[in-house]
Amino acid sequence: MDAPKTLLEAVTFFADEDRAHKFAVEQRWPYGVACPRPGCGVANPQYIATRKLWRCKECKRQFTVRVGTIFEDSPLPFSKWLPAVWFLTNTKNGTSSCELARALGVTQKTAWFMLHRVREAMGTGEYAEKLSGYVEADETYIGGKAKNKQARPYTHQAEGGHRRRSKGPKHGKAIVLGMIERYGGKVRAMTINQTTGAYLQARVRANVEAGSTVYTDAHGGYNRLNQDYTHYVIDHMVRYVEGHVHTNNIENFWSCLKRTLAGTYISVRPFHLDAYVDEQVFRFNEREDNDGGRFAKTLKGTDGRRLTYKALISANPDGKTVRASGPRRVSKSRHDAQRNPII
């Protein structure tokens, strides 16, 4: 069954639940249905058409196409799920939970959970190969302006007894490290918790093949990369481009990422930031593909990516259970704003 090529085709195609279910089955098992239970995998199970499930002839377990995917335990039909996957995969600046809720006729809290499950499918997980050739590396800081912070931190007493507020681009913000291959290559990005030389260099070495040419800015954390790479440095305090030495490609990705976070999601909690970064990395790396191709790749990535609501809202590294942005009153333009966003 051919995948739809446009949004209009997708909405029409997936309006029929039986057709949407059949499409999901073909995408997950293109060579025939097999038992998803670990250690089994027996093919040609018995199909119970009235319940849209299969019964394994070996382990005697019953299963559906949703088992072991982001769709598991969801009461929503595929006629709602598949358009949601299409929306997030193909909207350049992301899709808000309020917008998706209105489009599908579900609550905002449900849409928020759906989007995070789709992001789970879009995530790359562990990278199979390292970047090589000409690679740019850079870090950026994600967070709001100091004047908008609710709790303004102070560092020391100024003359006259007045407290002076901490300043600088790094203060109170999340850090994202990115690397990109030049000339149409792939980008990879991840959140980090420090920018020391040992930490940054270890991340670069883990993701870039030795012997490659690496371009960075004048951050001191990259100083010893010349031990394993041909290392060029551009000092942004002096100029942004000097011949072939620049970091404009990774800066382009930062522009896309920050436009999504600031324009669509507004305020993202630090412990969810990796999911939003993975979302933008996927779309950036698949930018040469068409809408149908990106949709098919995301759908294939749903297998083995189950995400429960409990695991999602308990992701706070401080160990505190955090409620998702649910049905409380928020501005439509600030649908994902939280009480404790990145500051």
What is the model's pLDDT at position 313? Answer: 86
Contacts with 66 (C-beta within 8 Å, 6 or more apart), sequence order: 72, 73, 74
Q: Which residue has the higher pLDDT, 38 or 225?
A: 225
Q: Is the pLDDT of residue 79 over 90?
A: yes
User: What is the layout of strands, in order, in the sheet containing 230-234?
Assistant: 187-192, 174-181, 134-142, 213-217, 230-234
Q: Which of 177, 217, 211 is nearest to 193 (CA)?
A: 177
Domain boundaries, the chain: 1-29+65-122+285-343, 134-267
Q: Of the given ranges (158-172, 174-188, 228-242, 319-333), which has the lowest mean pLDDT?
A: 319-333
What pLDDT does 40 receive? 87
The yes-or-no verdict on residue 75 having pLDDT over 70 is yes
Does CATH number 3.30.420 belong to domain 134-267? yes
Average pLDDT, the chain: 84
Q: pTM for the complete prediction?
A: 0.83
Length in residues, the chain: 343
Cα–Cα distance for residue pair 110/107, rounded to 1 Å: 5
> What is the residue type of 240?
Y
**pLDDT value at residue 189:** 95
